[in-house]
Amino acid sequence: QVRLVESGGGLVQAGGSLNLSCTTSGTIFNFWTMGWYRQAPGKQRELLAHISSGAAPFYADSIKGRFTISTNNANNTVLLQMSRVKADDTAVYYCNCVPPLDGWGQGTQVTVSS
């Protein structure tokens, strides 16, 4: 059973920062590329960033230079540090493997106020 638990979302002012966290099961964390996705209202879910052992992280153009993906191997956690957030960053944020497994977590809501 895949376990993906996202946390850290909330309300933040434009230009501010927020740190998201995703706890995964050890099985997928150790053997898969892990990524952060988001889904804004009325839009499709999009891949924002991914990270895997021995490879440089990938970032979508929309977040490049503002968000940073990292991992905490000790507790199977994938992190997303968000900075200089914009109103367009408002969405539900999810973590999953890349490509994604069928099961998704509940996500964490990020709302950016202008």
pLDDT per position as a tens digit, 3-59: 899 999 999 999 999 999 999 987 777 778 999 999 999 999 999 999 998 889 999
pLDDT digits (tens, 9 = 90+) for 69-114: 999 988 899 999 999 999 999 999 999 999 998 889 999 999 999 8
- Specify the pLDDT at position 94: 98
- Quote the mean pLDDT of the chain: 94
Residues shown for the chain: 114
Q: Judging by DSSP bridges, how do beta strands 4-7 and 77-82 pair with one another?
A: unpaired
CA gap 23, 112 in Å, rounded: 23
Type of residue numbered 90: T
**Percent helix, percent strand, percent coil in the chain, to nearest 5:** 10, 45, 40
For residues 81 and 70, the answer to whether their CB atoms sit within 8 Å is yes
